[in-house]
Amino acid sequence: MYFLSLLLLLLSANVQAIYSDEAFVNDWQLQNVGEYQCVFENDNSQYLITLSQLGQKSLLSFINEVNGEVFFRQPLDFSGLDVMVVDNGSEFVIMDDNSQMRAFNGSNGFPLEKDVSEYNFKSSCQPDMKGFKLKDKTLQVLDPESQLVVFKVDLWDNFQRVEYIHTDFQGTLKVLYSTTDSKYVFQFVENGELISEWVRDESESDIVAHAVINLPDSSLDAISQELVQEEDTSTLWEAYKFRVSKNLQRFKDLLRKYHYSPGAMLTEMLKTDDDASKEQRELVFGLAKYLVVATQRGKISALNIKNGIVEWSVQSNLNDIILLEWFADSSELVAVDRDGLYEFYDLTDLSQPTLIKKDRFGSTKIDTISLLDGQRFFITTEDDQKSIVSLSSKGEKPLTSTFISTHDKNHIYGHVVTADGQLRDTWVTTLDDDEEILSFAKREDTPTVSLGHILGNRTVLYKYLYPNLVSYAVYNKKTGNLFIHLIDSVNGALLHSQVHDDGVDPSSPIELVFGENWFVYSYFSSQPIPEQKLAVVELYESLEPDHRVSDNSTQLNPLKGVHPPEVITQAYFFPEVIKRMQLSDTKFGITTKSIVLELESGQLIYLSKALLNARRKDESQMSDDDKKEFMAMPYFSTLPINDHFIITHIRHLIMGSNSKLISIPTNLESTSIVCSLGHDIFCGKIAPSGQFDIMSPTFEKGKLIATIVGLVFLCYFIRPSVEAKKLKSSWMVRN
């Protein structure tokens, strides 16, 4: 008993929280400033203030001089061209592209309510190089009177330009310079000695295209080879013998590795994770990936998706990259730009891309490009031409006939690619002159896990699972109405449509995402109160439970039309302005879908689809059976933001207007990686249904094994005494 209590004590001591806080461990952000337009110092000489471009507007940043970290960033609502520093930095004036001047407080960057039109504007952006000399990659500081060199500092080899410089001509110097690869180096010299130096890498800002590379798990190669061998063997018995002998061999190897010592094997099992096994686990779980991004300036870089560290980068000769695509089979990465120029990189060695081919297709600017299959792309150009282009140097296998639907501002087109590779137009929908398409989403192509939705009384609502669906939002300028349409993308037939006339604001983002048998859209409207709205439309075969319209024995021909869905819809208020939406993507689609939202406030959050349910109704109308339904909740008009669903925690993202939100599945069904790509880069992990397939890192393997060993041990000792007791009691012998 003493032993048992000792064990219990051991287990209860030092119990850690079940949910270890993985914030800032599993997620990372590249906080970018961009290319520095103007750099100056604030009044207490602790921060460098920079002005940079953020889309069409400007960004004001305070950078800590000690370590180069961004202290504070403020997007401005105009485009600044030039800066004048007033009163040694206690105030500065920015001139915008309309020559209008605005004053800001130098210590905190807040705008000052002050008329500055009288100021005699003099730019402070050009560093004054009087008294300095650049020679052989060194910067020399000259005495103002004698012109003799007071001291000098070494510059980097790829030095480009001095952005900011300040010295007292005695021994202190602060210099910030740029390098040819968009890095910014700050050096601080005191008494002629280099005291601190830091570098900011601004080359991975303003992402325009991306691709994801899964790092291969080579540990499985041996096993897959064995499986192939096993298939090659002639009979079942031989395959079985092969497998048993292989496993026996493996066991022998293991014993030999630990010198036949059970102790060594046990310690190995109990050992806390080292780096190598952690890395191996990440490979198996599909968490080891490269996020390849292309920037506006044509640089292609691979970032480790775990921590954002740049693994390699290449400067392409492309101008305005619109597509990066990874072909895992041939280990090739292709980058295509708007002019039709493309470059192929070979990545057989994943740490080193080599340019293997560059060429161009077409002569007009590309509008959109998307992968069809193999290395075949569907392309629309700015002069409304559509074509199919293959970039493969080997032959491609013939296409299966494919239906494509495209859209511009006020048309939706249907096309078909026939088996002989011809592209034909099929149908077109033209909107009124006053109408404009603001958002467009096709149904996502993920595996279907269940055919129906089980209600509380064990009846089933059958989901409408017809795959060729597209929904789009149309705004009518004359009436101010927002129409949401659902169409069949094969024949263009309208299946459902609904309208909002609550003062929709067309200038704020209208976003649409289309999941399995539902779509969600967001819009901002002014009535009854100015508020963000989030609406969900769910499609069922029939709203009558247990009524199935489709049947699994006949094949449907979409060209002959399909039966329309029955629809339930519900709308909610949402407390923040939504900028972008994306569906979470997991490997098998079993995890409850969630909707990842990028908010105007610079945060990423996710909402479970269970919350955004069109069948939620007021509590007074819910029957007892309704309450038994899985995850059933009564209807509340506002969807709250729960702190647990904020992916970015306290971070503030500055993404610009063309950011992209992506969700990348991993081999763990529960877990999806979410990234936002734009001016900044952010990646984090979400587990919408909880981490049901993974043990918490704090799971105490050692203690569990110790307990089991202890219990076995205990049984071993207690059993004889129990048997003796039984024997005694059957003979009615007293102790």
Q: CB of 89: closest distance to ligand NAG in angstroms?
A: 9
CA atoms within 13 A on the CB side of 149: 10
**Token pair in block for residue 322:** 């619109």
The 8-class DSSP code of residue 458 comes to S
Q: CB of 297: closest distance to ligand NAG in angstroms?
A: 36
Q: Which of 27, 41, 65, 91 binds ligand NAG (CB under 6 A)?
A: 91
Q: CB of 476: closest distance to ligand NAG in angstroms?
A: 36
Comparison of 126 and 457: residue with beta carbon closer to ligand NAG: 457
Q: CB of 74: closest distance to ligand NAG in angstroms?
A: 14
- Alpha carbons 262 and 613: distance in angstroms, whole number: 55
- Alpha carbons 611 and 273: distance in angstroms, whole number: 38
Q: CB of 548: closest distance to ligand NAG in angstroms?
A: 8
Q: How far is CA 171 from CA 38, 133, 152, 167, in A?
A: 25, 15, 10, 8
For residue 493, which phi and psi values (nearest 5 degrees)? -70, 140
Comparison of 457 and 638: residue with beta carbon closer to ligand NAG: 457
Comparison of 265 and 451: residue with beta carbon closer to ligand NAG: 451
Q: Is 87 in the site for ligand NAG (CB under 6 A)?
A: yes
Q: Which residues make Cβ contacts (< 8 Å) with residue 126, sequence separation at least 6?
A: none
Let me know: does 94 contact 79? Beta carbons within 8 Å: no
Comparison of 121 and 427: residue with beta carbon closer to ligand NAG: 121
Q: How far is CA 408 from CA 429, 440, 485, 608, 656, in A?
A: 11, 10, 16, 31, 23
Q: CB of 617: closest distance to ligand NAG in angstroms?
A: 9
Q: Is 94 in the site for ligand NAG (CB under 6 A)?
A: no
**Site for ligand NAG, residues 471 to 490, rule: CB under 6 A:** none
Pairing mode of beta strands 578-583, 594-599: antiparallel
**Token pair in block for residue 630:** 């899985």
Q: CB of 108: closest distance to ligand NAG in angstroms?
A: 5
Q: CB of 568: closest distance to ligand NAG in angstroms?
A: 11
Q: CB of 408: closest distance to ligand NAG in angstroms?
A: 41
Comparison of 108 and 698: residue with beta carbon closer to ligand NAG: 108
Q: CB of 608: closest distance to ligand NAG in angstroms?
A: 21
Comparison of 42 and 489: residue with beta carbon closer to ligand NAG: 42
Q: CB of 103: closest distance to ligand NAG in angstroms?
A: 8
Let me know: does 665 contact 583? Beta carbons within 8 Å: no
Q: How far is CA 671 from CA 521, 603, 647, in A?
A: 24, 20, 13
Residue with token string 């407390």: 575
Q: CB of 626: closest distance to ligand NAG in angstroms?
A: 5
Helices (H), 233-307: 236-257, 262-270, 275-284
Q: Which of 455, 535, 605, 655 binds ligand NAG (CB under 6 A)?
A: 455
* 3-state secondary structure (DSSP) of residue 375: coil
Q: Is 502 in the site for ligand NAG (CB under 6 A)?
A: no
Pairing mode of beta strands 386-390, 531-540: unpaired
Comparison of 553 and 721: residue with beta carbon closer to ligand NAG: 553
* ∠ Cα 24 676 67 (to 5°): 50
Concatenate the DSSP letters of all residues of 590-647 into one string. Answer: -SPPEEEEEETTS-EEEEETTTS-TT---GGG--HHHHHSTT-----SB----GGGBT
Q: Which of 315, 459, 468, 570 binds ligand NAG (CB under 6 A)?
A: 459
**Token pair in block for residue 533:** 């709205």
Q: Which of 64, 74, 79, 107 binds ligand NAG (CB under 6 A)?
A: 107
* 3-state secondary structure (DSSP) of residue 709: helix
Q: Which of 170, 219, 450, 457 binds ligand NAG (CB under 6 A)?
A: 457
Let me know: does 380 contact 366? Beta carbons within 8 Å: yes
Q: How far is CA 55 from CA 59, 255, 294, in A?
A: 9, 62, 16
Candidates 106-114, 254-262, 440-448, 716-724; binding stretch for ligand NAG (CB under 6 A): 106-114
Let me know: does 230 contact 291? Beta carbons within 8 Å: no
What H or E segment, with its residue span, contains residue 2?
helix 2-12
Comparison of 82 and 91: residue with beta carbon closer to ligand NAG: 91
- How many Cβ atoms from other residues are within 10 Å of residue 384's Cβ? 12
Comparison of 171 and 545: residue with beta carbon closer to ligand NAG: 545
Q: How many residues bind ligand NAG (CB under 6 A)?
A: 16
Comparison of 362 and 545: residue with beta carbon closer to ligand NAG: 545
Q: Which of 45, 56, 67, 90 binds ligand NAG (CB under 6 A)?
A: 90
Q: CB of 552: closest distance to ligand NAG in angstroms?
A: 4
**Site for ligand NAG, residues 655 to 674, rule: CB under 6 A:** none
Q: Which residues make Cβ contacts (< 8 Å) with residue 34, sequence separation at least 6?
A: 52, 53, 54, 59, 202, 205, 206, 679
Comparing CA positions, the residue from 397, 318, 309, 283 lying closest to residue 28 is 309
Q: CB of 638: closest distance to ligand NAG in angstroms?
A: 24
Comparison of 315 and 550: residue with beta carbon closer to ligand NAG: 550
Comparison of 20 and 450: residue with beta carbon closer to ligand NAG: 450
> 334-353 mask for ligand NAG (x: CB under 6 A)?
--------------------
Candidates 6-14, 375-383, 433-441, 453-461; binding stretch for ligand NAG (CB under 6 A): 453-461
Q: Is 74 in the site for ligand NAG (CB under 6 A)?
A: no
* ∠ Cα 53 56 59 (to 5°): 35
**Site for ligand NAG, residues 623 to 642, rule: CB under 6 A:** 625-626
Q: Which of 37, 79, 105, 491 binds ligand NAG (CB under 6 A)?
A: 105
Q: Which of 88, 225, 247, 319 binds ligand NAG (CB under 6 A)?
A: 88
> 533-572 mask for ligand NAG (x: CB under 6 A)?
------------x------xx-------------------
Binding site for ligand NAG (CB under 6 A): 87-88, 90-91, 105, 107-108, 112, 455, 457, 459, 545, 552-553, 625-626
